[in-house]
Amino acid sequence: MPVGQLNEFLDKAGVFFLATVDGGQPKLRPLGLHVEFDGKVYFGIGDFKDVYKQLKANPKCEIVACQGADWLRYTGKAVFESDFGMAEAVLKQAPNLQQIYNEQTGYKMMMFHLEDAKASIIHMMGEGDPVEC
C-alpha cells in the first residue's frame, strides 16, 4: 500500500491509537492528527505531554487503526522534525489546536513520522497483509 493509502486508512478510521513504552509499562492513547507530506505520514503531539517524553526516551512505537472488520498495524521508530514549519502549517488549519499551542501557553506541537516502518492490514479472521510504506 502506498503512503497515500496508509493516510487514507487513518482518515477513514478517524481515531487511531499510538502505543509507547514508559519504562517497562506499555502506554496507549488515542490520536487523530496526521498529515501526508513529501511521501510520509506525519503525526502531531504536544511537547509537554508524557507521550513526547516517552518517544524521546524510546522511539519505538506502534499505531493501530480500525476500519470495519479491518485494522492497520503500523510499527516503526519515531523521528521528530526539527523544523517547526510543518507544525505551524497544521495549526493554521486547526483553530481549536491554536488555543493549546501558542506563545501564551508556551506549548509546541511536535511532528514526527515513522522510519524503519512496517505496516500491515489485518482482516478480523485472517493473517496480515504486509504493506509497503
Contact (CB, 8 A) for 113 and 41: yes
Q: State residue 42's pLDDT score.
A: 96
Of 1, 64, 6, the residue nearest 36 (C-alpha): 6
Classify each residue of 31-58 as buried b or exposed e, where b means 16 or more C-beta atoms within 10 Å of its C-beta.
Answer: beebbbeeebbbbbbbeeeebbebbeee
pLDDT at 5 (0 to 100): 87
> Quick one: pLDDT at residue 125?
66
CA distance 74 to 131: 9
Indicate the CATH number for domain 3-124.
2.30.110.10
pLDDT digits (tens, 9 = 90+) for 25-36: 999 999 999 999
Of 51-55, 91-95, 125-129, minimum mean pLDDT range: 125-129
**What is the per-residue DSSP string for 96-114?**
HHHTTSSTTT---EEEEEE
Residue 131: pLDDT band by 50, 70, 90 thresholds? Answer: low
Domain locations in the chain as residue ranges: 3-124
Give the gyration radius of the chain's Cα atoms: 15
Q: What is the mean pLDDT of residues 51-58?
A: 97
Q: What is the mean pLDDT of residues 36-63?
A: 96
pLDDT band per the 50, 70, 90 thresholds, residue 81? very high
Which pLDDT score, from 0 to 100, does residue 45 have? 97
Residue 132, pLDDT > 60, answer no
Which has the closest alpha carbon to 21: 71, 62, 74? 62
Cα-based torsion angle of the residue sequence 42, 43, 45, 50 in order, rounded to the nearest 10 degrees: -110
Q: What band does 3 get if pLDDT is binned at 50, 70 and 90?
A: confident
Nearest to 61 by CA among 73, 49, 46: 73
